[in-house]
Amino acid sequence: MRICIPTENKEGLSARVYEHFGSTPYFTIYDTENETFKIVDNINAHHSHGMCHPIGVLGTSSIDVVVCQGMGMRAVQKLNEANIKAYKAVAGTVDEIIKGYKGNELEELTVQNACAQHGCH
């Protein structure tokens, strides 16, 4: 399982989750089978609201799940169309989010509970 988490910096497991998926500076991708991670720069961080392209940015990273604090409805739709589930996390580090995901403690993000505007959590 490969979990993608938007992060503020490139500090690996101690990186803090970024507030909103589409405008994150980095994506930290954690592989639960190998217990390894890689970091992808978000080259689309500065986009118009509702115009992020998460699959295009992540490219060949082959992710299964995204965990973030906030995500708009269009991003949820795009991920779901690619068979990627999204989950909501509270503020914390990559390590804390991984533990929350493994413990089934995270709420799944859907079109119904997605953010309507930037700044929601």
pLDDT digits 0-9 by tens, 46-91: 545 444 555 555 655 689 999 988 787 888 888 888 888 999 988 7
Using CA atoms, how far residue 32 sits from 1, 24, 36, 113, in Å, is: 5, 22, 7, 27
% of the chain surpassing 90 pLDDT: 44
CATH of 2-108, one of 3.30.1050.10, 3.30.70.2740, 3.30.420.130, 3.40.47.10: 3.30.420.130
Q: What is the pTM of this model?
A: 0.82
Evaluate if residue 5 carries a pLDDT over 90: yes
Is the pLDDT score of 118 beyond 60? no
Using CB atoms within 10 A of its CB, is residue 11 exposed (0-12), middle (13-18) or buried (19+)? middle
Helix (H, G, I), strand (E, B) or coil at 21: coil
Domain boundaries, the chain: 2-108
- Reduced to 3 states (helix: H, G, I; strand: E, B; else coil), residue 81 is helix
